[in-house]
A = this chain, B = another copy of it.
Amino acid sequence: MFITAISKKLKITTRAIRHYEEIGIINSKRLENNYRYFDQVNVDKLKFLVRARKLGFSLEECKELILLFENDNRRSEHVREIAKNKLKSIKKQITDLKDLEKSLKWLVLKCPGDNKPDCPIIDELAKG
């Protein structure tokens, strides 16, 4: 398959695909005219990558996962460890964002939102 066909199939841009190749996550063959050609193996890898990205893994992490994907001697504990770490960081992000949400909610609630300058939000940010 050519790059545009895959990009449509996987709903990602051609630019993204080239980027993944540039940083060595995936690869492709070249035809005589220098066009990229993706065989089934490469398409499957790309599919894997897209799915992993959707699960929140960074490209670095995806790279690692693909190596495991391709390694028949992998240990599932290794894969699980990566997923657990990601889960941990996602949990932290959620906690942090919830804290922000709480503070912001409270401030928005306290602010009259009228045409006068007195504003508890500004006051809170400015307080000594």
Interface, chain A (partner B; CB < 8 A): 44, 47-48, 51-52, 55-56, 65, 68-69, 71-77, 79-81, 83-84, 86-87, 90-91, 93-94, 97-98, 100-101, 103-105, 107-108, 111-119, 121-122, 124-126
Contact = CB atoms under 8 A, between A and B. Distances in A.
Contact of A94 (B81, B101, B124): B101
22 contacts: A51-B124, A65-B122, A68-B119, A71-B117, A74-B119, A75-B114, A75-B115, A76-B111, A76-B112, A76-B114, A77-B113, A77-B114, A79-B119, A79-B122, A80-B111, A80-B112, A80-B121, A86-B104, A90-B100, A93-B97, A94-B94, A94-B101
Contacts of A100: 55-56, 90
Given A113-B77, A119-B79, A98 B94 contact: yes
